[in-house]
């Protein structure tokens, strides 16, 4: 995961293909006015489904190297870590 800031814009990257709920959560919790979430950046570790998607089934939740091999809570963890990174880059210019 990586994050950078350009003025009021925050960009956070990850090597997964997040279900859109996670991207929306990152944007809602970002301290910056504008936030972009870039997926499949510097790698590809598969789909990151929501808990609801795991219960509903579908090809995205299959545990294998082709679709997804991450833990069921990976999306929540990626979203939390992404927001934490955005908070760090947001506060970078506020140092004394």
Give me the pLDDT at residue 57, please: 81
Helix locations, the chain, DSSP H: 20-29, 51-56, 74-91
* pLDDT at 95 (0 to 100): 58
Half-sphere exposure of 8 (CA within 13 A, CB side): 2
**Sequence spans of domains, the chain:** 2-90
Composition of the chain by helix, strand, coil, percent to 5: 40, 25, 35
Contact 78, 25 (CB under 8 A): no
79 pLDDT higher than 90? yes
Residue 96 confidence class, pLDDT cut points 50, 70, 90 = low
pLDDT at 16: 92
pTM of the model: 0.88
Q: Per-residue pLDDT averaged across 19-44, rounded?
A: 96
pLDDT attached to residue 24: 98
């Amino acid at each position: 995961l990586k994050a950078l800031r350009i003025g009021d814009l925050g960009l956070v990257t990850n090597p997964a293909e997040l279900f859109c709920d996670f991207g929306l959560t990152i944007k809602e919790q970002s301290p910056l006015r504008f936030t972009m979430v870039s997926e499949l950046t510097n790698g590809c570790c598969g789909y990151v489904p929501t808990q609801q998607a795991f219960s509903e089934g579908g090809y995205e939740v299959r545990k294998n190297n082709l679709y997804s091999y991450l833990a069921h809570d990976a999306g929540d963890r990626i979203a939390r870590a992404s927001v934490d990174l955005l908070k760090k880059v947001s506060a970078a210019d506020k140092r004394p």
